[in-house]
Amino acid sequence: MNVEEIIKTNQQMPLEKRTLIHLALVVNKIDEEIATVLKPFDISIQQFNVLRILRGQNGKPANLSTINERMVTKMSNTTRLVDKLILKGFVNRTVCLKNRRKVEIVITEGGLNILNKIDGILFEAEKRILKNFDKTELHELNELLNKF
Amino acid sequence: MNVEEIIKTNQQMPLEKRTLIHLALVVNKIDEEIATVLKPFDISIQQFNVLRILRGQNGKPANLSTINERMVTKMSNTTRLVDKLILKGFVNRTVCLKNRRKVEIVITEGGLNILNKIDGILFEAEKRILKNFDKTELHELNELLNKF
DNA sequence: GTACAATAATTGTATATACAAATGTATGTT
DNA sequence: AACATACATTTGTATATACAATTATTGTAC
């Protein structure tokens, strides 16, 4: 990936600016690839993220704040994100008995099924995206990202 | 930045998945910081991007396709993005005389002024975001990002 | 127990974005 | 010149997101 070529600029940028643009371009590319994988399942990256969080609960219900703090990309409105998932039959929502301000959100069988179907395809996509990296390089990249 | 801590997971992920999540988290953080810098100017990252492209034209008008191919994050609808900038008085749009299918978009004095004001503050923000990196590390990071 | 603040989620509203379809213009072929 | 095709942008529509305001519930101080 050549930054200057992609954004069609001939002027040379300071290394700092170039790095930040480079990161943005890379993540755009990754998001595109993953969205393409999810598209046939009619699920957005955000919705997928919520489903994975709920699966990680192992049956234990989650409330909105829990989901929110675990999301990779925070959303201002998780209520409506969950609404969509309910419509699709992937999650259930009930009012928490102990604290009626809270809601309890659980993934359904249907939700688990679709995640299972997606898992393999996504894994392949992840390998494809990172095909040019060996383990050492991946570690190096993670080390550098830790500095942010 | 510790990935597992941020997304509050206790399970350990494969290195590939972890890397991709790590990248997303980093770029979210960067975008947030930059959006905060732009907020007082009532300009979105996308709008700012278009203005910079137009400034890079050095007075030469750009049409929509040119803008589109140079944008860091491609948008499906640059027309309306430009609409917003016109409303704010930062760009002008006229129909191209030579080819009336095309439009000619130029940045105004007002647009140049606001870019000038933003430049310095943004530069500071970029330094702040990358404060933990030395030149060598930035080069390393760019090298690794080239592999995508 | 009542009043008040804090918490959790929802709703309203404005704006942003994705995607498809439509419009208007130019170009190439015969 | 007439037609089909390609091109550049705009518009329509559905959905997504940001942010503020609202509702409902709980906890706490008095």
What integer pLDDT is reported at residue A136 of this predicted model?
97
Average pLDDT, chain A: 93
Question: Which nucleotide has the least CA–C1' distance to A76?
Answer: D18
The rounded distance, in Å, linking the Cα atoms of A29 and B1 is 22
Task: Kindly list the distances between the CA atom of residue B48 and the CA atoms of A104, B97, B115, B119, B124, in Å, as whole numbers in the listed order.
Answer: 41, 27, 8, 11, 16
Can you say whether the dihedral through the CA atoms of B39, A31, A126, A53 is positive or negative?
A: positive
Residue B91, strand partner residues? B107
What integer pLDDT is reported at residue B117 of this predicted model?
94
Question: Which nucleotide has the least CA–C1' distance to A78?
Answer: C9
Would the CB atoms of A145 and B1 count as touching at under 8 Å?
yes
For the segment B27-78, what is each residue's pLDDT rounded down to a tens digit? 999 999 999 899 899 999 999 999 999 999 999 999 999 999 999 998 889 9
A121 in contact with B at a CB cutoff of 8 Å?
A: no
Instruction: Give the pLDDT band of residue A84 (cuts 50, 70, 90).
Output: very high
Q: What is the dihedral of CA A121, A123, A126, A131, to 10 degrees?
A: -100
A4-21 average pLDDT score = 90
Q: From the centroid of its chain, how far is CA A109? A: 21
The rounded distance, in Å, linking the Cα atoms of A7 and B92 is 22
Would the CB atoms of A23 and B20 count as touching at under 8 Å?
no
Q: Are the C-beta atoms of residues B142 and A19 closer than 8 Å to each other?
A: yes
pTM of the model: 0.92
CA of B40, C1' of D5: distance in angstroms: 48
B113-119 average pLDDT score = 94
Would the CB atoms of A140 and B135 count as touching at under 8 Å?
no
What integer pLDDT is reported at residue B1 of this predicted model?
82
B-proximal residues of A, 7-36, CB under 8 Å: 7-9, 11, 15-31
b/e per residue A24-59 (b: at least 16 CB within 10 A): bbbbeebbeebeebbeeeebeebbbbbbbbbebeee
For the segment B87-108, what is each residue's pLDDT rounded down to a tens digit? 999 999 999 988 999 999 999 9
Average pLDDT, chain B: 93
What integer pLDDT is reported at residue B72 of this predicted model?
92
- E strand or H helix at B31, and its extent? helix B15-38
Q: Best of A71, A144, A146 to disrupt the B interface by mutation (most B CBs within 10 Å)?
A: A144
Would the CB atoms of B137 and A146 count as touching at under 8 Å?
no
Closest chain A C-alpha to B97 CA, distance in angstroms: 25
B78-85 own/partner pairs: CB under 8 Å, 24+ apart: B78/B50, B81/B46, B81/B47, B81/B50, B82/B50, B84/B47, B85/B47, B85/B50, B85/B51, B85/B111
Q: What is the dihedral of CA B14, B15, B17, B19, to 10 degrees?
A: 160
Judged by DSSP in three states, B6 sits in helix
CA of A99, C1' of D29: distance in angstroms: 21
Closest chain A C-alpha to B30 CA, distance in angstroms: 8
Judged by DSSP in three states, A108 sits in coil
Q: Are the C-beta atoms of residues A140 and B21 closer than 8 Å to each other?
A: no
B5-19 average pLDDT score = 90
B121 in contact with A at a CB cutoff of 8 Å?
A: no
The rounded distance, in Å, linking the Cα atoms of B43 and B55 is 16
Q: Beta strand B103-107 with A103-107: parallel, antiparallel or unpaired? A: unpaired
First vs last C-alpha separation in chain B: 22
Identify residue A17 by its one-letter amino acid code.
Answer: K
Q: What is the dihedral of CA B18, A125, B49, B130, to 10 degrees?
A: 20
B7-25 average pLDDT score = 91
Judged by DSSP in three states, B103 sits in strand
Inform me whether the pLDDT recorded for A140 exceeds 90: yes
Considering only CB atoms, A26 lies closest to which of B1, B132, B148, namely B148
